[in-house]
Amino acid sequence: MQHSNIVGGSTAKRVINCPGSVRLVQKMPPQPSSKYAEQGTLLHNIISEYLERDNVPLQSFVDEKFTMALMEEKLLPALDLLNEIDPNNELVYKVESRVGFGDLLPGVFGSTDLLGRIGDRAIVLDWKFGDGVVVTAEENEQLMFYAAAAMRTPETAWVFDGAAEIELIIVQPPVMRRWVTTRERIAQFERELVRAVKTAQTPDAPLAQGDHCRWCAAKPICPQMTGAVDRALKQQIVNLDVDTLGQYLKNADLLEEWIKDLRALAFGLLEKNVAVPGYKLVQKQARRKWTDEQEARRVLMEMGLKESVVVETSTMSPAQAEKALKKRFSELPEGLIKSESSGTTLAPVEDDRPAVQSFVGLSKALSKL
């Protein structure tokens, strides 16, 4: 999926509400991918390829990454919802189209999941395969961005030619959300976007805090966020009046996201051998596990534990086994258990655990921001 580094569909809401965020985000290092983002990309790619190819069974895509469970939980419900949109097989569509604003907003573009036409209705559809955040279709800035850009893109303008209405659709299995709007509303959105992009290019582009901050990569360095934290730290919670308490509660989710992103930024820098004063990477606490699970099951049953106890849902843990054997005045033999860390974590330099890396100066890294 291709997106502009100025503004794209997923960032349109933020840029319209906070033009100054464009400058801050461009200063940030690349954000590490997550397993959820990678899964979402995988599902997007598979459903696009499936819709582009005729008579290809969905099962042919199943492998170690795209499992039967993912197909049944995500892809099949998504395709069922698409059939609900197009029960009579009338939809003419195109998937994964790059759309942009041409000379109106040079360098501003995005990639649509699906553009289509049924009769006199143009359709702009976006797949959402995540579970954590409910995405609505009404007044959805991402979909309006795609609609406006697609109208100005010669290869996709046919979707809207002569259309009486425009339907914006979010398919988030197992739910679909739909909103019908007009060309006039999309034109109004485009004017808002143009103003925001032009404002973002000015040296004093304003910053504004709000729910659009949730996915902003620049939260760790944003004055709006750091200022909110500084004010909160100076205020004694026990002395808050009820009105101030209510306002602080509204900001709690944003501050929690800011803290998470701040730690993620520090973790990412430390992983790249960039020193963060006062912090280091250390091994997570080691967890005990079986060196050979099948062998552990055999030994535990030989020692008198019932198979139904050893394998209730999965093999019991070493701690559970030790507790069960203690009642029999028995101990686990040596060699069945190993201690293993699940990775690294951020810790203050005062932590007793040794740092797992050496680091270069932070000033060199920050000079690149």
3-state SS record for the chain = CCCCCCCCHHHHHHHHHCCCHHHHHHHCCCCCCCHHHHHHHHHHHHHHHHHHCCCCCHHHHCCCCCCHHHHHHHHHHHHHHHHHHCCCCCCEEEEEEEEECHHHCCCCEEEEEEEEEECCEEEEEEECCCCCCCCCCCCCHHHHHHHHHHHCCCCCHHHCCCCCEEEEEEEECCEEEEEEECHHHHHHHHHHHHHHHHHHCCCCCCCCCCHHHCCCCCHHHCHHHHHHHHHHHHCCHHHCCHHHHHHHHHHHHHHHHHHHHHHHHHHHHHHCCECCCCEEEEECCCEEEECCHHHHHHHHHHCCCCHHHHECCCECCHHHHHHHHHCCCCCCCCCCEEEECCCEEEEECCCCCCCCCCCECHHHHHCCC
Ordered by start, the domain boundaries in the chain are: 9-200, 213-265
Q: Output the pLDDT for position 233.
A: 57
pLDDT at 358: 46
Confidence (pLDDT) at 230: 61
Maximum CA extent, the chain:
83
Quickly name the fold that domain 9-200 has: Lambda Exonuclease; Chain A (3.90.320)
pLDDT given at position 21? 93
pLDDT given for residue 211 in this prediction = 86
Residue 214 has a pLDDT of: 84
For residue 346, what pLDDT is reported?
A: 81
Per-residue pLDDT at 362 = 44
Give every residue of the chain whose pLDDT is below 50, as ranges: 1, 313, 358-369
Q: What is the pTM of this model?
A: 0.67
* pLDDT at site 343: 78
pLDDT value of position 314: 59
